[in-house]
Amino acid sequence: MSSAAWFCLGLPLAAALVITLAGTRISRRGAAYVSTLTTMGAFAAAIVVFARLLSQSPSERLANQTTSWTWLAAGPYHFGLTLLNDQLSVMMMLIVTGVGSLIIAYSVGYMDGEDEERRFFAYMSLFVFSMLLLVQTANLLLLLAGWGMVGLSSYLLIGFYQERSSAIAAAKKAFVMNAFGDATFAIALFLLIEHTGHLDFAGAFANAPTGGTAATLIALGLLGGAVAKSAQIPLHTWLPDAMEGPTPVSALIHAATMVTAGVYLIVRTHPLFEHALKVEDLAAGLGGATLLMAGLIALVQTDIKRVIAYSTMSQIGYMFVGAAGGAYANGMFHLMTHAFFKALLFLAAGLVIHALTGEQDIRRMGGIGRMMPRTRTAFLIGSLALVGVPPFAGFFSKDSIVAALLSRGAFGVVLAMCALIGVFLTGVYAFRLYFVVFHGEPSEFAREHLHLHGTSEGPFSMVWTVGALTVLSAVGGFLQFSPFWHPLSTWLAPVAPPFAVASNTQELVASICAVFFGLAGIAVAHQLYVAKAAEVSPVLRRLAPVAEHKFYWDEAYDVLFYRPAVLLSEALARYVERPLIAGSIREVSVGFGLGSRLAGRLQNGLVRSYALALAGGLAVLAVVFLTTR
């Protein structure tokens, strides 16, 4: 049990260390294969852990805990390097290593010929390790460590193209936003230590304050961390900028690691959130607002990766709504299917970008489907899964979230309406992207710049991984089809018993509505971009700049935080630093210079004057002794 879990955690770390330490002694290809094979090895280890869990009873599964050593001992507190392999963490391990290894295998082809390929693969392995640490630990302190390391890895990978100043700015933005979340997370942990004296999951949850300000503050702190990591309002602005990294990095951040960590945290610490239901409602509300806003912004973006990025933000919004609404298993289920189809969309977009030698503007693409039919099929399946058209993956997971919301009273119904409007928006933006990029006659730019090698649409490593993800996106949803079968809900129920369970009628209503809204969105996109039968109404056209400016969040942060900070520091520089600190230092240095010049004049190099000074001194001493005797 324990050794497989340790292998799963240790292999990616070992790969990162080996690639970094070997330097140029390992070939670029070699680094790529080390990274790929170790992540696949971690996946195999995760499967072994999963198989072991299958043979246990549900209550035994909760107690699979191994400690390697006491990592930190401070007074009465002992924090072990402890792994917990219960149902929830095993599910996350499988997603992280499974989807992660496919993405890293894809990078073998995508990053081929790139300078500093080795650094890229070392970072990717480090990223997978950080995420595994985050999902495997049994105490909140180590979870915070993994949390911070995920932020560090994302910083390194978003800023991978160091020569681009925009990439550096995006990396810094992501890091600062995440650091804010880390800080609120840490404050929540301090409060937990004060009130419970425990940071391991079992002890902290059992002794947590069951109400009042303390419970609210703890939940708020955790929510702050989750919101920053998962790019929800109001800490979401880093996610679209994170597209500056290479495409596989975007896929890894959006599908397998990083942004799903917030959802995992909410499900993992659900007892703390359940003691502060207002915070839980706030989390669900933020998720609902984010999914609508991101859907609207995605309608007007022109960068293929940014459209998908906003779609991620929107889908994470669904997971937040589900997890914070009490339907933990449904949120986790959507996390899983989203990992499949979002990785697929990103990697298929990567194939297009790769074939067009780096072009990302969809206005210059067009009709690429004629030349890349298999990529087109993969992208179509990914988009259908994203919108939630049966029988593809998104249908099963998204509808069950909407259904669970319907069972949560008036607030739930409002959120469900948001979610349904979000489904409509998803249909429009997903198929706007699909129609503009793949449909119709090839554009001039595409004809000139599309470079395909032979009949294949990309290197083998890129094609087979996209193929595997296509299959997963097509059939992955059948894992759970409530109300007919729900193994995932049963599997997760001992860890996180849901308090929002939909009745059969609600399931049916939600499914019909969601499919209807999704198809309506696709139909609107078809009318606008293929049949050209309809025009965007002038009112909407006038509102488009609001979405193009991403609802002015960046501008608002600029005015609220950046400008005042600059003004304050400029005022301090002008009125405090220059006259007081720099001024006084200058006076002191001038004084010392003057003094030393005077003292230096005494040493004139004439031995006789020194002798005279000695004699004079002696004479003065003699006179003093003789007169004062």
Partner 1 sequence: MHGPDISWYLALAVTLFAIGALGVLLRRSPLIILLSVEIMLNGANLALIAFARRLGHEDGQVFAVAVMAIAASEVVVGLGLIVAMSRRHLELDVDKLRTLRG
CA dist., res. 629 & res. 626, Å (int): 6
CA dist., res. 490 & res. 478, Å (int): 15
Helices within 137-246 (DSSP H only) = 140-158, 165-196, 201-207, 212-229, 238-241
For residue 623, the minimal CB distance to partner 1 (Å) is 16
CB nearer partner 1, residue 532 or residue 601: 601
CB nearer partner 1, residue 567 or residue 615: 615
Q: Write each residue from 556 to 595 as x if it is in contact with partner 1 (CB under 8 A), else as -, in one continuous string.
A: ----------------------------------------
Helices within 111-139 (DSSP H only) = 117-136
According to the binding rule CB under 8 A, does residue 599 interact with partner 1?
A: yes
User: How many C-beta atoms lie closer than 10 Å to residue 575's C-beta?
Assistant: 10
According to the binding rule CB under 8 A, does residue 603 interact with partner 1?
A: yes
- Written as one letter, the residue type at 168 is I
According to the binding rule CB under 8 A, does residue 625 interact with partner 1?
A: no
According to the binding rule CB under 8 A, does residue 626 interact with partner 1?
A: no
User: How many C-beta atoms lie closer than 10 Å to residue 30's C-beta?
Assistant: 16
Pick the piece of the chain touching partner 1 (CB under 8 A) from 131-139, 273-281, 547-555, 602-610: 602-610
For residue 166, the minimal CB distance to partner 1 (Å) is 56
According to the binding rule CB under 8 A, does residue 55 interact with partner 1?
A: no
Tell me which residues in 397-436 interact with partner 1 (CB under 8 A).
none
For residue 578, the minimal CB distance to partner 1 (Å) is 33
Whether residue 204 contacts residue 218, with contact meaning beta carbons closer than 8 Å, is answered with no
CB nearer partner 1, residue 615 or residue 623: 615
Structure tokens at 397: 């997971």
Q: Which of 74, 533, 602, 626 binds partner 1 (CB under 8 A)?
A: 602
Q: Which residues on adjacent β-strands are paired with residue 200?
A: 139
Strand segments, DSSP code E, in 543-617 are: none
Residue 135's closest CA among 54, 42, 208? 42
Residue 437's closest CA among 304, 535, 536? 304
Q: Which residues of 593-621 are buried (b: 16+ CB within 10 A; e: fewer)?
A: eeeeeeeeeeeeeeeeeeeeeeeeeeeee
For residue 616, the minimal CB distance to partner 1 (Å) is 10
Q: Which residues on adjacent β-strands are paired with residue 137?
A: 83
Whether residue 399 contacts residue 511, with contact meaning beta carbons closer than 8 Å, is answered with yes
For residue 603, the minimal CB distance to partner 1 (Å) is 4
For residue 628, the minimal CB distance to partner 1 (Å) is 22
Pick the piece of the chain touching partner 1 (CB under 8 A) from 241-249, 265-273, 408-416, 603-611: 603-611
CA dist., res. 51 & res. 450, Å (int): 45
Whether residue 31 contacts residue 122, with contact meaning beta carbons closer than 8 Å, is answered with yes
Query: Which secondary structure element, helix H or strand E, spans residue 78, and what is its range?
Result: strand 77-84
CB nearer partner 1, residue 410 or residue 606: 606
CB nearer partner 1, residue 533 or residue 607: 607
Number of residues located near partner 1, criterion CB under 8 A: 13
Cβ-proximal residues to 609 (8 Å cutoff; 6+ apart), any chain:
none
CB nearer partner 1, residue 568 or residue 613: 613
Structure tokens at 410: 């008036």
Q: Which residues on adjacent β-strands are paired with residue 70?
A: 80
For residue 153, the minimal CB distance to partner 1 (Å) is 59
CB nearer partner 1, residue 531 or residue 620: 620
Query: Is residue 58 classed as helix, strand or coil in its secondary structure?
Result: helix
According to the binding rule CB under 8 A, does residue 600 interact with partner 1?
A: yes
Q: Which of 451, 453, 542, 608 binds partner 1 (CB under 8 A)?
A: 608
Q: Which residues on adjacent β-strands are paired with residue 139?
A: 200
According to the binding rule CB under 8 A, does residue 76 interact with partner 1?
A: no
The dihedrals phi and psi of 200, each to the nearest 5 degrees, come to: -75, 150
Q: Which of 605, 627, 628, 629 binds partner 1 (CB under 8 A)?
A: 605
CA dist., res. 283 & res. 324, Å (int): 6
Q: What is the dihedral of CA 522, 524, 526, 529, to 10 degrees?
A: -130
For residue 596, the minimal CB distance to partner 1 (Å) is 8
CA dist., res. 80 & res. 73, Å (int): 8
For residue 627, the minimal CB distance to partner 1 (Å) is 19
For residue 604, the minimal CB distance to partner 1 (Å) is 5
Whether residue 526 contacts residue 435, with contact meaning beta carbons closer than 8 Å, is answered with yes
Q: Give burial (CB, 10 Å; 0-12/13-18/19+) of 570.
A: exposed
Q: Which of 604, 626, 627, 628 binds partner 1 (CB under 8 A)?
A: 604
Residue 314's closest CA among 348, 344, 341, 288? 288
According to the binding rule CB under 8 A, does residue 601 interact with partner 1?
A: yes
Torsion-angle region of 233 (φ positive above 0: left; ψ -120 to 50: alpha; else: beta):
beta
CB nearer partner 1, residue 607 or residue 626: 607
For residue 599, the minimal CB distance to partner 1 (Å) is 7
Q: Which of 73, 544, 559, 611 binds partner 1 (CB under 8 A)?
A: 611
Maximum pairwise Cα distance, the chain: 121
CB nearer partner 1, residue 539 or residue 607: 607
For residue 602, the minimal CB distance to partner 1 (Å) is 7
For residue 610, the minimal CB distance to partner 1 (Å) is 10
According to the binding rule CB under 8 A, does residue 544 interact with partner 1?
A: no
Residue 426's closest CA among 621, 535, 295? 295
Q: Which of 410, 533, 606, 626 binds partner 1 (CB under 8 A)?
A: 606
Pick the piece of the chain touching partner 1 (CB under 8 A) from 88-96, 177-185, 577-585, 610-618: 610-618
CB nearer partner 1, residue 619 or residue 624: 619
Tell me which residues in 202-221 interact with partner 1 (CB under 8 A).
none
For residue 625, the minimal CB distance to partner 1 (Å) is 16
Q: Which of 413, 471, 615, 621 binds partner 1 (CB under 8 A)?
A: 615
Tell me which residues in 307-366 interact with partner 1 (CB under 8 A).
none
Residues near partner 1 (CB under 8 A): 599-608, 611-612, 615
